[in-house]
Structure 1
Amino acid sequence: MLADVTEETTLDVVRAIARLEGRVRACGLTLRESADFAAFEAAVATTQDRYLMEDFSSRFFDLHGAQAFWIGARDEAGAVVSVQAAKVEDLRDRTLAEHWRQQQRRLFVDPAAEAELGTDHARDAFFMHGRIAYHGNLWLRKDFRGRGLAETLTQIGFLVALAKWSPDYLYGLMAAANALKGFGLRVGYRRFVPRGTHWIAAPSHIRPDDWLVYSTRADLITLAATIAVEGPE
């Protein structure tokens, strides 16, 4: 049984976010959380990559505050330094793998005739169900990389999702190279499956080697408690 979010847990989450935000402020950055995804698309358009994931695009979804948020970091000049987003799905009546079969086809196969979705998705996705949060579209400007900020910012996103939704699971899809280098573990993911969505023929802009990386609610509660006591390092 997954751990419940208690009053004590809530305080740990608040303390942990405060510690993490303090580290971000020490780097001269300010954070803003928003549910305005038109503003998110505008912020992404100012980044070097300009990469907007389909999962957070108004072309495919009507995202609002009850089910999604994004966090932006800006420097002292007001320029965008980082973006990330998260959303939650109520999958009590189906597994994550079943959700992928429908959603990934709509997002990626229908618009791309050359793409072909398989059925041999990550093993764990076939038993994951309930309130499932997805975290993605993480970007950090090059001049701020290598300082541990990617980990700090991602953990803030994880803990905001925990505070808002108390999800049964929070997951992402991560390039195999990053997962093998330990990035997923450093940001707070605790479970790793060497395959995400199964692609027979992936769309040109989608990596076919992504891993499913995820944490349970209990994992996120432990992460919050650890940061609250020991700090982000």
Structure 2
Amino acid sequence: MTFQSMNEGAQFVATSRDILLQNQITVTIGTNFFEYRDLLEEERPQQVLGAPFDPEVHDMNAGNAFWLVAHDVDGLLMHTQASRLIDLKQKTLSGYMLKKFREFPPAIPDLDLKRSRYRASPGANRITGHVVYHGEVWMGGSPGQYRGSGLSTVLARYGLHEAMRRWDPDYIFGFMARTVAYKGFAERMGYMHNEPGALRWYRKGQDTPLEGFVSYLSNEDTRYLLEMPVVDVVDVPRPHQKAA
């Protein structure tokens, strides 16, 4: 029985839509990543499209990838995320990433890929099957307007539900900078497993690396998360009021 034919997440999605509607947030989901790249160039110029979702490099289509964006009441881009299905076949995530981690760099300039490294974490040694890479997570707005708010949590779980609805994967995973993970962002995103030391990215001419966590959910974890009422996982945000 697939996720699509079950009731997991139905209450969450209904409540989430109500919250987004009350806050005048409009969500758009698409699968054309050339269109997504153009949207980012126009509306998120400070951060270009991440390499894992570059349509010039990866063959992405309606069957294996989607992007999600949200706009506020003024039509301004306030959130992005994207997901991509990966069939690990007989490999574990650790085995896959030992050879492929350079295809999943952070969105920072001047990376020294030769010095950067991936270290297999315990969870990555167990993850296999059909997995979803979840990335491109960005929150806009003025300081304190959306980041750390209940809206970021609602939107993140909205994307997790969409991945489950489409593919019912064995696992969902992503990478997160240590500084962000230490602020509790992984928990706000809904990830139940967060393992440090997975990635170490170096920039050219610098000796201090950017450390990355691997964050992940099993299929069972995600179902459990999406069955929970929104009020049990987040303080429901009040509608945002424009300044007079």
Whether TM exceeds 0.5 here: the answer is yes
Provide the alpha-carbon RMSD of the alignment: 2.7
Q: Is the 8 A contact 1:37 1:63 kept in 2?
A: yes
For 1:81, what is the secondary structure of its paired residue? strand
Q: Is the 8 A contact 1:122 1:197 kept in 2?
A: no
Letter aligned with residue 34 of structure 1: G
Deviates more, 1:153-162 or 1:134-143: 134-143
Counterpart of 1:70?
67
State whether structure 2 residue 130 is matched by structure 1 residue 134: no
Counterpart of 2:222?
220
Counterpart of 1:186?
188
Counterpart of 1:90?
87
For 2:138, what is the secondary structure of its paired residue? strand
CA positional deviation for 1:167: 1.0
Cα distance change, pair 17–231 in 1 and its aligned pair in 2 (3 A): farther
Counterpart of 1:41?
37
CA positional deviation for 1:177: 2.4
CA distance in 1, matches of 2:82, 2:26: 16
CA distance in 1, matches of 2:204, 2:8: 41
User: TM-score, length-normalised on structure 2?
Assistant: 0.81
Q: Is the 8 A contact 1:193 1:211 kept in 2?
A: yes
Counterpart of 2:11?
15
Cα distance change, pair 38–28 in 1 and its aligned pair in 2 (3 A): same
CA positional deviation for 1:101: 2.6
Letter aligned with residue 44 of structure 1: L
For 1:209, what is the secondary structure of its paired residue? strand
CA distance in 1, matches of 2:101, 2:162: 26
CA positional deviation for 1:222: 0.5
Q: Is the 8 A contact 2:119 2:198 kept in 1?
A: no
CA positional deviation for 1:192: 1.1
For 2:194, what is the secondary structure of its paired residue? strand
1:17-166 maps to which residues of 2 (within 5 A)?
17-45=13-41, 46-47=43-44, 49-105=46-102, 114-116=112-114, 117-118=116-117, 120-143=119-142, 144-145=145-146, 146-166=148-168
Letter aligned with residue 227 of structure 2: A
CA distance in 2, matches of 1:194, 1:96: 15
Unaligned runs of at least 5 residues, structure 1: none
Q: Is the 8 A contact 1:92 1:130 kept in 2?
A: yes
CA distance in 1, matches of 2:29, 2:154: 15
User: Larger % of helix: which?
Assistant: 1
Deviations 1:121-155 (A, max 9, x none): 32321221111111111112123424321111111
CA positional deviation for 1:104: 2.5
User: TM-score, length-normalised on structure 1?
Assistant: 0.84
Deviations 1:46-80 (A, max 9, x none): 11523311011113112111110111111234332
Letter aligned with residue 80 of structure 1: L
CA distance in 1, matches of 2:180, 2:229: 23
**Which of 154, 166, 169 pairs up with 1:167?**
169
Q: How many residue pairs get matched?
A: 224
CA positional deviation for 1:5: 4.5
Deviates more, 1:147-156 or 1:64-73: 147-156
Q: Is the 8 A contact 1:20 1:232 kept in 2?
A: no
1:201-220 maps to which residues of 2 (within 5 A)?
201=202, 208-220=210-222
Cα distance change, pair 202–195 in 1 and its aligned pair in 2 (3 A): farther
